[in-house]
Amino acid sequence: MHQANRASDKSWPHIEAVIFDWAGTLVDFGSLAPTQIFVDAFATFGLHITLAQARGPMGLSKRDHIRTLLADPAIQAQWIQAFGRTSADADIDAIYQRFMPMQIEKVAAYSQPIPGAVQILQTLREQGIKIGSCSGYPRQVLDVLLPHAAADGIAPDCVVAGDELPAGGRPGPYMALANVLALGAGDVRRCIKVDDTTPGIEEGRNAGMWSVGLTLSGNEVGYSPAELAAAAPAEVQARVARAAQRLTQAGAHYVIDSVADLPAVIQQIQQRLARGEAP
């Protein structure tokens, strides 16, 4: 039986839903919007953090991201030098309150779809596969991002924000499972989580899903489109290899450059389901 006929046969195991991350996955090539804002927000408190440090906890909810950054010994040392004491929960809140308006102001400027994203969503819909999404962004930020993304053709069936579930965010399974509930998917083993961060991959694994990691478009590689165009091929290859290793260690079943490469992975997963395999 041909693959296309099998996919249309409901008695044959098929993918029910694909759940995407946002920045670095569907929009914002290089996951630039959140990264620079963390640098800028910490700078208002007199703390210097690098883009590499800012990228480290990416994928967590933004408050947890700030908490993790402040726990870094080098950044905590800067805090103690500046304020004469260790940081407390109130300081996390203060940085978060400084971060939020800066992120809201800038997120729309980074709403452009990643090449191939619009086409993959269209293909999934044509195949009857439901489209979910979740993000480390809080709801206030997503409410600004979503209309811009939708105007460009990025409009999942479900969107879950990083601050709206009492159980918490990544690497827990909660946002992915909230998508399963909202979409009415009947089997997590027939769902795919697609993400460019290690907490996002762990989220998918913890939810019992197939997890697909993205390298070139995402946080782990971290190139803007212009930087990628100017980078030496050997440097690009090295960054992609490091990203692939990190995502694989986090539990990714597959690692690809971007969502543009997802159709081939979906086909492979369909074939594995047909053989009785599970994530």
Q: Which of 154, 180, 260, 150 is nearest to 15 (CA)?
A: 180
Burial class of residue 144 (count of CB atoms within 10 Å of its CB; 0-12, 13-18, 19+): middle
Classified as helix, coil or strand, 249 is helix
Q: Which residue out of 9, 10, 21, 187 is catalytically annotated?
A: 21
What is the number of alpha carbons within 13 Å of residue 142 lying toward its C-beta? 22
Q: Are 201 and 175 in contact (CB under 8 A)?
A: no
Is 21 considered catalytic here? yes
Of the candidates 28, 62, 130, 261, the residue annotated as catalytic is 62
With contact defined as beta carbons under 8 Å apart, do 66 and 57 qualify?
A: no
Catalytic status, residue 106: no
Start-end of H helices in 184-261: 198-206, 225-230, 233-249
Catalytic residue numbers?
21, 62
